[in-house]
Structure 1
Amino acid sequence: MVELFLVSLGGAIGACIRYSLGEWIKEKKISVLITTIAMINIVGSTLLGVALGLSLTVKLELFTVSLLGGFTTFSTFSLEAYEFFRAKEWRKATAYIAVSIVGSLLGFSLVILFFL
């Protein structure tokens, strides 16, 4: 039950930070070369790498992963892709990345086309 609470709390905090930071970046017109979401994805993935690299306790790691997962699900995507590469499962890693990106774009595009 404690773990579920930490995941929920971390996800909610991460989503609030993502929203607030996104609004601040738009307001300050900081995002020139890449989109706000791309910036958030890069920051979130980097922070997840730092958090996991520090070998935090399980409960703190769970909170961190859920916080950064709420901040950007791309950080979790990066972690999963890294795990395939680390296990030297090259085909699975490549398929995972390709299916995730192409599948997401296709799903989004099909829905948009349906509603247009």
Structure 2
Amino acid sequence: MNLILIALGGALGSIARFEAANLFKKNSHFPYSTLIINLMGSALLGVCFATLLKTSSWFVFLAVGFLGAFTTFSTFSVESMKLIQQRQWLTLTLYLITTIIGTILAFSIFFLIFK
């Protein structure tokens, strides 16, 4: 049953990610869409950890399936590599710092709010 919940959540999460990426797309060197998606996903994951039992079906569906597909470390890595190849050192540094610190802060804040 967990595999079905993960698959369903993952399918919906990947669709939501595609739509959100199109919504937040900017004509800029800075990868805003991935940053916003990862910040949102981290905040929602904080809510899941605070409110859902880690063994519940909702947690499996939302945290593992939906948010696992919605957020993406692989896109973060690709966009970071593009910035390296373009020698956009300042943009790369800002992106790395805001993504890493921002996602941890988003998770922590929403975890504490909903705990």
The TM-score, its normalising length taken from structure 2, stands at: 0.55
Alignment of 1:100-115 (within 5 A): none
Give the residue type in structure 1 aligned to 2:5.
L
Shift of 1:55: 2.6
Cα distance per residue 1:51-105 (max 9 Å; x no partner): 110134611100011100110145xxxxxxxxxxxxxxxxxxxxxxxxxx9xx57
Where do 4+ consecutive residues of structure 1 move more than 6 Å? Answer: none
Aligned mates of 2:31, 2:41 — CA distance in 1: 15
Q: Is the 8 A contact 2:24 2:32 kept in 1?
A: no
Q: Which has the larger Rg?
A: 1
RMSD: 3.2
Aligned mates of 2:39, 2:60 — CA distance in 1: 20
Cross-structure match for 2:58: 60
Sequence identity, in percent? 39
Cα distance per residue 1:19-39 (max 9 Å; x no partner): 00111122xx5x8x7611011
Alignment of 1:42-81 (within 5 A): 42-56=39-53, 58-65=56-63, 66-74=65-73
Give the residue type in structure 2 aligned to 1:68.
L
Cα distance per residue 1:4-48 (max 9 Å; x no partner): 11000101100100100111122xx5x8x7611011001001100
Query: Which consecutive unaligned segments of at least 5 residues does structure 1 have?
Result: 75-100
Aligned mates of 1:14, 1:64 — CA distance in 2: 9
Alignment of 1:13-92 (within 5 A): 13-26=12-25, 29=26, 35-56=32-53, 58-65=56-63, 66-74=65-73
Aligned mates of 2:24, 2:37 — CA distance in 1: 10
Query: Which consecutive unaligned segments of at least 5 residues does structure 2 have?
Result: 86-115
Query: How many pairs were matched up?
Result: 77
The TM-score, its normalising length taken from structure 1, stands at: 0.55
